[in-house]
Amino acid sequence: MADKKKQSGKPCFIPCQNDPEAIYQRLKAGNKRYRKGRLKCLAKKRDRIESQRPYAVVLSCADSRVIPEQIFDTGPGELFVARVAGNIANTATIASIEYAVHVLGTRFIVVLGHEACGAVETAKKHTREPFEHSAPLGYNLDVLLAQIRPAIVSAGACASMRTLIEENARLNAIQLTERSQIIDKDKVILYYAYYTLGGKVEFTEVCFNAGSPV
């Protein structure tokens, strides 16, 4: 009986949707538990959840090593996750996030890039100055890589992979607001982040100064 009580522990803290600082601290705390191998929320069994009010949106890569629910130690109903190679803001991911913002009331958004991102590596490999394809890879993959190429243009082809990955996350975070009338930069809290395969997430807030992101 004592072991059972010990395993149940305290309930996982779930912040309110309108408390961005609490959400930020919750994600950081969950990532810290993940790095230390002390997950408590992901593994916790929960009753059936009839509705959802996720406190954060995570746009992440489809890479099999990057699982936001694990990285932030969250359970069902906490995160609204959209995954696509290169964590790009395309029509499908923007529409998904618009649903989270407009219907579910989520205001905290993280675009999560990661170490050794194959999509960014491929975009760099198949880009030549003046930043054109070195060889076509097929319509669909070419379209995806074209949305990563602005990061290569912005950071420069000689930039480190980390710099390119972070710039890709930053530019796609900005794209969420520029290509959507629902994801209003004045109403959402927007971060881009870098995940190392060692487990750590480093956040950077996207601030808007006189209408322009900085």
The verdict on residue 132 lying in a domain is: no
pLDDT tens track for 55-96: 999 999 999 999 999 999 999 999 999 999 999 999 999 999
Domain total for the chain? Answer: 1
Instruction: Answer whether residue 203 shows pLDDT above 70.
Output: yes
In angstroms, the Cα distances linking 148 to 45, 62, 88, 110 are 38, 14, 7, 17
Q: What is the CATH number for 22?
A: 3.40.1050.10
**94 or 12, higher pLDDT:** 94
Alpha-carbon distance 70 to 192, whole Å? 18
- Counting residues of the chain whose pLDDT is more than 90, the rounded percentage is 75
The verdict on residue 135 lying in a domain is: no
The verdict on residue 38 lying in a domain is: yes
Alpha-carbon distance 27 to 44, whole Å? 17
**100 or 76, higher pLDDT:** 100
The verdict on residue 106 lying in a domain is: yes
CB 214 within 8 A of CB 207: yes
In the prediction, which pLDDT does 134 show? 58
Structure tokens at 43: 């593994």
- Counting residues of the chain whose pLDDT is more than 70, the rounded percentage is 86
In the prediction, which pLDDT does 1 show? 41
In angstroms, the Cα distances linking 89 to 29, 112, 147, 198, 204 are 27, 12, 8, 26, 18
pLDDT tens track for 21-63: 999 999 999 999 999 999 988 766 666 677 899 999 999 999 9
The verdict on residue 178 lying in a domain is: yes
Structure tokens at 85: 């190679």
> How high does pLDDT run on average in the chain?
89
The verdict on residue 121 lying in a domain is: no
In the prediction, which pLDDT does 192 show? 98
The verdict on residue 80 lying in a domain is: yes
pLDDT classification of 117: cutoffs 50, 70, 90: very high
Task: Tell me which residue range forms the domain holding 96.
Answer: 18-44+51-116+169-207
The verdict on residue 159 lying in a domain is: no
In the prediction, which pLDDT does 4 show? 44
Q: What is the pTM of this model?
A: 0.90
pLDDT classification of 212: cutoffs 50, 70, 90: low
DSSP strands (E only) in the chain: 56-60, 79-83, 108-114, 127-128, 132-133, 189-195, 201-205, 208-209, 212-213
